[in-house]
Amino acid sequence: MVITVCIGSSCHIKGSKQVVDQLRDLLSRNSLDDRVTLTGAFCMGDCMNGVCVKVDEALYSLKPENVEAFFETEVQSKFNVKDIKGETVKSNG
């Protein structure tokens, strides 16, 4: 999985540094930093509502205050699977 965060001037003003810092921390805390590539890019063309973030090919608009919820639904959930007993376990990819 590749997460690309816009670091262009408009997104910078909207908090792209905070978004990057939070994503880096969440990846580390969830032991995903070796399975997810976090990268930056200049203007991604959709800066109206927040910081542009692309996960693989899907584009999102984030604010620093909604990064954790975004991470849980769009990143972490992709690496969790249910085992036979219904307990969540980490998958390999």
Domains in the chain: ranges and CATH: 2-90 (3.40.30.10)
Distance CA 93, CA 89 (A): 12
Q: CB under 8 Å to 46, separation ≥6 — which residues? A: 52, 59, 61
pLDDT at 44: 82
Q: Which residues, given as ranges, of the chain have pLDDT below 70?
A: 80-93
Predicted TM-score (pTM) of this structure: 0.81
Distance CA 10, CA 26 (A): 24
